[in-house]
Amino acid sequence: MCHACATPPDDDEGTGAAPRPRLSRRGLLRGTFAAGAAGLAAHALGTAAVPAPALADTSGGGHGVRLRWLGIAGWEMAFDGHRVLVDPYLSRQEYRTGGSRMDPAKPIATDARIIDWVLEHHLPQAPEFILVTHGHWDHLGDVAALLSHPRWRDSRIRVFGNETHLNLIRAMGVPADREADLVLVTGGEHLRYPLKDADHPRPAYTVEVFRSLHSQLGGYGFSPAGTLTSVPPKPTTLGELVEGGSLAYQVTVTGRLSVMFLSGTANFDAREVAHTSPDVLVLGASGNAAVHDYFRRALTTLDWPATVIPTHNDDLVTPLDDPGVHDTANRAVVAELRELVGDRGRVLDPRHLEPFTV
């Protein structure tokens, strides 16, 4: 989390050059826009104060891959009975003490009520993986509570994160029998599920891990920064949940669809993700005043994904069961991305907790 992640980016994005022509699964996806985008993403935009129409459960994509925005940078990806979560932070606690900046001395406040509500009504089935992008409270803050929750307690859930991320999760308290499922990743891994055996010669899906970068603002930095090489005392304040390095993930459903979660912050390492060519890009849209030409560079580096979904563009604090949470999204970001993408693809405007198919 950066001090101003709830604010729109300050960069003035250009339009960029058209991508080179090529035949691919994405090329076929582009041909379905007239049917899919009409019902899903072609509604008119207003300001954050104007409610957006709900997304339909299906968009005509035909790939059977469903996404659900959990607010901030949190996502569920579901298909064929499989589920993967990215940065599932549901508590949405107040992080300020007067003013708009994060107060590092603010006590950590896990909202057990809202976690119970979301798991009962929206996430009743546990995921196979939780993918953590970095250590800040609005990304990692609920992971330990979710791993201990009675609804998920008997399900095996593997958690991907780097050394700092996993040490923070351990410090926040997880059952001892979960330790083997805290999986250290550093970037460069390309992992399959399920494991290869005689019954599963091909994976249902794969997860690629990429080293990434945190947003940088007008002061060219972010906070709280830092890394942890051992398990610290149990964190009690927001400032103790340090970034620890950032990661990005690409989840590919075999033979069907790839989704890049460049979603944790509004920055990235172009050399790490160059020409990964995802079909769907979930793109962090938090503060990035110091990041040069962020949106255009991300899109060109990833070969202009056919579907782009902004994330990390709400107010971070409105409860998920408040109907007004949908109106806190910064839809100026959506408008900016649509102008930039033009007829190269589509930009979706998701609503909190409402699933849609890509």
**DSSP string spanning 203-246?**
-SEEEEEEEE-----TTS--SS----SSPPSPP-BGGGS----E
The answer on pLDDT for 345 being more than 70 is: yes
CATH of domain 25-357: 3.60.15.10
The answer on pLDDT for 357 being more than 90 is: yes
Which tokens go with 158?
């593997």
Q: What is the DSSP letter of 164?
A: H
Residue-wise pLDDT tens digits, 10-66: 333 333 333 333 334 555 444 444 333 333 333 333 333 333 434 433 344 678 999
Enter the pTM of the model.
0.86
Side-chain half-sphere of 322: how many Cα atoms within 13 Å?
14
The answer on pLDDT for 268 being more than 80 is: yes
User: Can you point out the beta strands (E) in the chain?
Assistant: 66-71, 74-79, 82-86, 129-131, 158-161, 182-184, 190-193, 205-212, 246-253, 257-262, 280-284, 307-311, 346-347, 356-357
Which tokens go with 348?
């979706």
Report domain extents, the chain.
25-357
Q: What count of other Cβ atoms lies within 10 Å of the Cβ of residue 85? A: 24
pLDDT band at 246 (very low <50, low <70, confident <90, very high): very high
What is the per-residue pLDDT for 217? 82
